[in-house]
Amino acid sequence: MSLALKRETAGLPERMRALILDGPQRFHVGELPVPRPGRDEVLCRVHAVAICGTDVHIIEGRHPGQWPREYPFVPGHEWSGEVVAAGELAAAFGWRPGQRVAGTSHAGCGYCRMCREGRYNLCENYGRPELGHRQYGHYSQGAYAEYVVHSVKSVFPLPEGLDLDEGALADASSIALWSAERGGVGPGDRVAVVGAGPMGILVAQSARAMGAGQVLVTGSGDRLERSRPFADKVVDHRRVDAVQEVRRLSGGGVDVAIDCAGTADSIRQAVEMTRKGGRVVFTGVPHEAVALPMQKIVLEEIDLRGVRANRNTMERVLPLMAARRIDVASLITHHFPLEEFARAYETFKERVDGALKVLVHP
């Protein structure tokens, strides 16, 4: 440990409070040792963590042996905070205590073909921490704690004008922007966003920021109403045939459809509402087999594009957030201390009081 790192960590407590996942559906708030950063890592004091749908899957144990690989485990990957200590290499790159930062989950190995191409979210050494790969809050220890250690590949300085609460939504916003980029959204494009949850609302805003000429959002209930300020039109799939209505409103089909729901119905709808030669992006991850309309896909040359988290979009989305071109503050509906995580989790999962993004404050 360098002398600088020793000085930076000298006044830190030995123990910290953290959300500890003991097994599927079993968690408690307990104490763990405060981690220390490696050469290319920073230690951060966590200000806020946004509950994500993936957190629910991890807590429920839907990915046994993968996310997480073993228990006990600390989840959480959408977070903001402040650097308190930097490893020797991290300090050489300019990281210093006091910097306000936001985190993201992926840190590629940096050496495989995918990483060399900038596609570190598809790192060929996924799951091999001995080769430098991490996915924080998934199989690498996450941020529902007072302190968290991250590779400098996975933390980003917050611009002036963006507060720490808003910074906790940077990871989700970067995925939304990447979804729009994967769809090749350009000036004047007609875009349909299928699913009016937090990700759908962020995708709609990203599409607008990229110059879309028309943004349509499909969904139902309170969440669809919350998406209305960010769409040209909203379509309630419980009241009308969403495919036919989107095709009518867009003059025959959209240029880009982005599915944020990840269900068999939403995926099919996204394909069906797309014009000939259009693009369909899948941001929601299905947990079931999906039958696709292959004749339409083949004969109309529909491009299908998957999204895995994000790559290289944090630097681009943070200025958009600071300029309020992507308004994340309107999505934050609830705040809870770490000790009330069970209540926060229930609020998010059951959409209590119209919950969208729920922040937990260690």
The pTM assigned to this predicted structure is 0.95
pLDDT (average), residues 331-351: 98
Instruction: Sort 113 into a burial class: Cβ within 10 Å, 0-12 / 13-18 / 19+.
Output: exposed
- Domains of the chain with bracketed CATH: 3-169+328-361 (3.90.180.10), 175-306 (3.40.50.720)
Nearest partner of 168 among 144, 152, 151, judged by Cα = 144
pLDDT tens digits for range 188-239:
999 999 999 999 999 999 999 999 999 999 999 999 999 999 999 999 999 9
Quick one: pLDDT at residue 2? 75
The rounded distance, in Å, linking the Cα atoms of 39 and 168 is 25
Whether residue 253 has pLDDT greater than 90: yes
Better-predicted residue by pLDDT, 289 or 253: 253
With contact defined as beta carbons under 8 Å apart, do 20 and 28 qualify?
yes
Whether residue 8 has pLDDT greater than 70: yes
The mean predicted confidence, pLDDT, of the chain is 96
pLDDT (average), residues 292-306: 97
Give phi and psi for 306, each to the nearest 5: -85, 160
pLDDT tens digits for range 29-83:
999 999 999 999 999 999 999 999 999 999 999 999 999 999 999 999 999 999 9
pLDDT tens digits for range 129-169:
999 999 999 999 999 999 999 999 999 999 999 999 999 99
pLDDT tens digits for range 82-128:
999 999 999 999 999 999 999 999 999 999 999 999 999 999 999 99
Chain position carrying tokens 């875009």: 191
Quick one: pLDDT at residue 1? 67
Question: 115 by DSSP, 3-state: which?
Answer: helix
Nearest partner of 44 among 173, 169, 171, 145, judged by Cα = 145
Quick one: pLDDT at residue 4? 75
